[in-house]
Amino acid sequence: MPVYDQQYHPWAGKPQPRWRRWSVITRYHLTLLFTGKGRNHLVTLLVIAGFIHFCFLAYVYIMANRQILQQYAIPVERLPSINAQFFLTEIMAQSLTVALLALIMGAGLIADDRRDNALPLYLSKPLTVAEYLLGKLGVLALPILGVTAVPTLLVFGLHCLGEGGKDFILTYWRLPFAIVALSVLIALFCGTLMLMASSLVKKGAIAGGMVVGLFIGHNVLAGVLSGILESRKYMILSLQFDFHRLGLWLFGLEHLAEARHYPFSGSAAGAVIVAATALCWAILWRQVRPVEVVK
């Protein structure tokens, strides 16, 4: 009968590939978020987001079976048909859930680490600052994509399988790319903005307040400027409008009155969004410095 040595043994395995390292942070935070205190809020939000998509899906189903409506003498011809605008509306309908998701999940992401002085814990590991930030960004970006791009693409696919058919695909083949592009930009922007706010303070609640303040503040600013200078051009400063304008452009809806209503182009709106995201990222980069690991 052998007696086994119960002493300390070094680990001799092979480490996981480096490129996957950031996902550890994302996975860990997502697990914590869905087992922690705020779980119920998150689940409620996701249910609401899912319900909104379900309504769109139901509409697709009904339009595919319009004879049902005809039985009830509902004028089917007057109902909006399923086109690019329909899918843009589906994504934009998630604005509020996306904003709330970012606030609930993101407020403490970096602020808590700053409060606990936990940065050394991360950065003394084989992990760069970029990977750390990417991991934290993933915590926000993945769920946001999960409530925007993923279900919208599903509805699109179902419509193609059903009533749409080959003609619809041929007409709207660019739409899936537009859906992904817009959702990714929304996720990146909301994610970096939230992370930036979170990296500036040591309390998640304050970071959340900051983001709400920024959102209201910059819209007010854009409105005031437009009013004083009597030019709607300044509405480009409002990111809310920028996303809508960009969406119209990406979804090929330039001809709509809605689009002509904006005195700036979709690409200009896109540029503002990218610039704002870059600014947030730059501030983040300044805030999370590995030099502070050793004091």
Q: Do residues 189 and 277 lie in contact, with contact meaning Cβ atoms separated by under 8 Å? A: yes
155-194: which residues touch other proteins (CB under 8 A)? none
Per-residue DSSP letter, 235: G
Q: What minimum distance in Å lies between the beta carbon of 120 and other proteins?
A: 4
Q: What minimum distance in Å lies between the beta carbon of 115 and other proteins?
A: 9
Q: What minimum distance in Å lies between the beta carbon of 210 and other proteins?
A: 22
Q: What minimum distance in Å lies between the beta carbon of 46 and other proteins?
A: 23
97-126: which residues touch other proteins (CB under 8 A)? 112-113, 116-126
The closest of 266, 98, 122, 283 to 191, measured between CA atoms, is: 98
Q: Is 35 in the site for other proteins (CB under 8 A)?
A: no
The HSE-up count of residue 18 (CA atoms within 13 Å, CB side) is: 6
Question: How far apart are alpha carbons 213 and 219 in whole angstroms?
Answer: 10
Q: What minimum distance in Å lies between the beta carbon of 5 and other proteins?
A: 11
What residue ranges in the chain does DSSP mark as E strands? none
Q: Is 295 in the site for other proteins (CB under 8 A)?
A: yes
**Secondary structure (3-state) at 157:** helix
User: By CB under 8 A, which span of 8-16, 51-59, 216-224, 241-249 interacts with other proteins?
Assistant: 8-16
Burial of 10 (0-12, 13-18, 19+ CB in 10 A): exposed
Could you tell me how many residues of this chain bind other proteins (CB under 8 A)?
34
Provide the binding-site residues for other proteins, judged by CB under 8 A: 7-13, 15-16, 18, 21, 24-25, 28, 112-113, 116-128, 290-291, 293-295
